Amino acid sequence: MAADPTRQGFFPGIADATERLGRSTTGVIELMGHWAVLLSESLYWIVMGPRLKQPVRANAAVQQMMEIGIFAVPIVALLSATIGLMLAMQGIHALSKFGAEDQVVYGVSLSIVREFAALITGILVAGRSGSALAARLSTMQINQEVDALQVMGINPVRFLVAPALIAIVIMIPALAFLANIVALLAAGVFVSVDLGISLAAYWNQVFDSVTLGDLWHGLTKAVIFAILITLIGVSNGASVTGGAEGVGRVTTRAVVQSIVAILVTDMLFVFITTR
């Protein structure tokens, strides 16, 4: 076969790199399109399913809410308490250099409510439930269960994706809310012991510092993280090839992509909402 003439130019490496960049760009656009279709179809079935006499399976959603939310309470509480304590320690340490330790509650409470509660919950659920979702769907794909659904005239998005989306979108903000309370409480215990202020005074300062808008800021991000985790888990699970090895590959990829997506989205969200 004759060599590709475009590869024989002065800078063949540039042509290759440009081609790779083009392919990656179209790949990303294609993926975004796929996510958009998946999300729209899931929302369609959640809203229209009951009217079409094909409701989303409520018991599957409840079962997944237990898995994603209730069973994750201990680990979310542990991590949130740890984050709260760390923020209090670092805050007091940093502010003591300016003699402004009494301002620590302001910094800690805003950091937790606007940022860390949602972030830590999102990352935890991505690792715990996003991976499980990708593994479950990829295994079902390999075992021909998704084909079986299609042949039985059951829409796989309604049957598999919509319950997972409902469960994650409800449970991540709920867990983030719990993370807020636990992290603030843990920080409060440290601050009250270290600075010698009462817990009641600490909570008063927290409520003075944090507005309802700050709480919504954090919880809105939690909802966005939930949608990202679901879409990434599902799209990776559905794209599996190559048996058990493929399941491992897509599961790992789903976790990595979810965490990257959560962090980048968080940064963009903060940038947009603080301008």
Partner 1 sequence: MSPKSSDTQPAVIKVRNLVTHYGNRMILRGIDFDVADREIMVVMGGSGSGKSTLMRHLLGLETPTSGTIDVLGQDITRLNTVQKAELFKKVGVAFQSGALFSSLSVGENITLPLAEHTKLDRQTMDIMARMKLEIVDLAGFENLMPGELSGGMIKRAAMARAIIMDPKILFCDEPSAGLDPVVASALDDLILRLRDALDMSIVVVTHELESAFKIADRITVLDHGEILMVGTVDEIRNCDNSRVQNILHRRSEEQIVDPDEYLRRLMTGRTEQVTVA
Binding mask 190-229 for partner 1 (x = CB under 8 A): ----------------------------------------
Token match 């984050």: residue? Answer: 83
User: Is 102 one of the binding residues for partner 1 (CB under 8 A)?
Assistant: no
- Residue 63 vs 96, nearer CB to partner 1: 63
Binding mask 63-92 for partner 1 (x = CB under 8 A): x-----------------------------
Q: How far is the CB of 246 from partner 1 (least distance, A)?
A: 15
Q: How far is the CB of 74 from partner 1 (least distance, A)?
A: 24
Q: Please select the residue that binds partner 1; options are 39, 49, 54, 189, rule is CB under 8 A.
A: 54
User: Is 150 one of the binding residues for partner 1 (CB under 8 A)?
Assistant: yes
| 24, 29, 31, 32: CA torsion to nearest 10 | 140
Contact 232, 261 (CB under 8 A): yes
Q: How far is the CB of 2 from partner 1 (least distance, A)?
A: 18
Q: Please select the residue that binds partner 1; options are 47, 148, 267, 268, rule is CB under 8 A.
A: 148
Q: How far is the CB of 143 from partner 1 (least distance, A)?
A: 5
Q: How far is the CB of 172 from partner 1 (least distance, A)?
A: 22
Q: Please select the residue that binds partner 1; options are 145, 189, 220, 265, rule is CB under 8 A.
A: 145
User: Is 40 one of the binding residues for partner 1 (CB under 8 A)?
Assistant: no
Q: Residue 97 and residue 84: Cα distance in Å, rounded? A: 21
Binding mask 124-143 for partner 1 (x = CB under 8 A): ----------------x--x
# residues near partner 1 by CB under 8 A = 15
Go through 89-111 and write b for each residue having 16 or more CB atoms within 10 A of its CB, e for each that does not.
Answer: bebbeebeeeeebeebbbbbbbb
Q: Please select the residue that binds partner 1; options are 1, 151, 212, 272, rule is CB under 8 A.
A: 151
Q: How far is the CB of 63 from partner 1 (least distance, A)?
A: 8
Contact 252, 186 (CB under 8 A): no
User: Is 152 one of the binding residues for partner 1 (CB under 8 A)?
Assistant: yes
Q: How far is the CB of 44 from partner 1 (least distance, A)?
A: 13
Interface residues with partner 1 (CB under 8 A) are 54, 60, 63, 140, 143-145, 147-148, 150-155
